[in-house]
A and B are shown apart, each in its own frame.
Chain A
Amino acid sequence: MAHPALALRIAIAALALAATPALAQAPRAVDAMRGATPVGDESRPPPLGNVENKDVRRERAYSMQPPTIPHKIDNYQVDLNVNACLGCHSRGRAPVTQAVAVSVSHYMDRDGNFLATISPRRYFCEQCHVPQVDAKPLVGNGFVDVDEILSRPSAPAAKAK
């Protein structure tokens, strides 16, 4: 072997290959969305859920969480030409539509300077804001709200008192 680095890589690959069958035989699904379908086969996706369209604002799980969208956004065009969300959520349209106007934080660039228009890094709303489907969560979630933690008797704040 002329290249020791190459030899090392081959050795790692061989080890990985040797280890793979043991993983594949495990009954545990590799991917929660694929289920037990082997990698070579096409999985049958579950039917699409209905997007909640109640127009009632949901509680945020934590203070800085981007609010989820409480309505359908099917075929909303967000591209170089137009941002359909701003048709209602822009500063100028919000009074008419009674939608929540875009927050001032969205006018800031990464250095904290305020811009006249929405910062380009905030332009694509769906990077952070998403609609919700009434569906069973794929994985468990042990998240506890910070308010609840603070109100526990063992919390530092309570001890200080």
Chain B
Amino acid sequence: MRWLIALAKRYWATIRRPSVHYSLGFLVVGGFIAGIVFWGAFNTALELTNTEAFCTGCHEMRDNVFVELKRTIHYTNRSGVRAKCPDCHVPHDWTDKIARKMQASKEVWAKLFRTIDTREKFVDHRLELAQHEWERMKANDSLECRNCHGADYMDFTRQSPRAAYMHGTYLVGGQRTCIDCHKGIAHQLPDMGVALRSP
């Protein structure tokens, strides 16, 4: 412990000492440029991990959830507007995105230790994984849905009477959020228990 304090004191002394060789201007401008380069590189690397190509780079995602997405309206539809993995699974705002990315480091751990590297293991974990996403979306009021689907811009007269009633009552009234009813729209559902199988 004592050596650690000594080390810290030595570094602190170095940091406090004025520069001997470099001018103040060089340090300020150089520091500014280095900062831009660092920030650019950091953000580029971050955005690289925020692409569909990155997500489907692992067979766990490519062979399970991505295959299922391909059949849904969020992948293929008449107008060709589609959602990619991070559109729904990563918050768009910077601070929330960083928080989610730090959380995702645990997923790297799971990858290294092959938690879901076979279909059987994936199916075993499916409910738990889905619940994580449902809880996240419930906590942020289905923010990722609302990035595209704004309740204020929904034309209820263009919806079927059933949809208009449900949205008009529960969504606009704030009693429910998107994910409460729209589970399993982009991927297959796990075993939902007896309540959704045969009550």
Cβ of B124 < 8 Å from any Cβ of A? no
**A77, A90, A92, A99: most-surrounded residue (chain B CB, <10 A):** A77
Which residues of B sit under 8 angstroms from A71, Cβ to Cβ?
160, 162
Report if A148 contacts B (CB, 8 A).
Answer: no
Whether B72 lies near A75 (C-beta < 8 A) is: yes
Does A82 contact B166, Cβ atoms closer than 8 Å?
no
Instruction: Flag whether B81 is at the interface (Cβ < 8 A).
Output: no
CA distance A99 to B165 in the complex (A): 12
Set of chain A residues within 8 Å of B192, measured between Cβ atoms: 81-82
- Chain B min CB distance to A155 (Å): 39
Given the complex, which residues of A lie within 8 Å of B72, measured CB to CB? 75
Pick the contact of B73 from A74, A92, A97, A98 — CB < 8 Å? Answer: A74
Q: Is the interface of B mostly helix, strand, loop or mixed?
A: loop
User: Which residues from B are CB-within-8-Å of A108?
Assistant: none
| A143 CA / B71 CA spacing, docked (Å) | 38
Q: How large is the interface on A (under 10, 10 to 19, 20 to 34, 35 or more residues)?
A: 20 to 34
Contact A53 B160 (CB under 8 A): yes
A129–chain B nearest beta-carbon distance, Å: 16
| Chain B neighbourhood of A130, CB < 8 A | none
Is B199's CB under 8 angstroms from A82's CB?
A: no
Q: What separation, in Å, do the CA atoms of A52 and B184 have in the docked complex?
A: 23
Residue of B nearest to A52 (CB): B160
CB pair B196–A87 under 8 Å, yes or no, is yes
Render A39-80 as a binary contact track against B, CB cut-off 8 A, 1 for contact: 000000000000001111000000000000001101101011
With A81-B190, A81-B192 already in contact, the answer to whether A86 and B197 are too (CB < 8 A) is yes
Q: Which residue of B lies closest to A74 (CB)?
A: B73
Among the listed A84, A87, A97, A117, which residue makes an inter-chain contact with B198, where contact means beta carbons less than 8 Å apart? A117
Give the contacts of B159-199 with A (CB-CB under 8 A): 160-162, 165-166, 181, 184-185, 188-192, 194-199
- Could you tell me the distance in whole angstroms from the C-beta of B25 to the nearest C-beta in chain A? 63
Give me the interface of B with A, judged by CB distance under 8 Å: 71-73, 160-162, 165-166, 181, 184-185, 188-192, 194-199
The 5 closest A-B pairs by CB, nearest first: A117-B198, A118-B198, A55-B162, A55-B161, A82-B189
30 interchain pairs, CB-CB under 8 A: A54-B160, A54-B161, A55-B161, A71-B162, A72-B160, A74-B73, A75-B72, A80-B191, A81-B188, A81-B192, A81-B197, A82-B191, A83-B197, A84-B184, A84-B196, A86-B196, A86-B197, A86-B199, A87-B181, A87-B196, A90-B195, A90-B199, A91-B199, A92-B195, A97-B166, A98-B165, A99-B162, A117-B194, A117-B197, A117-B199
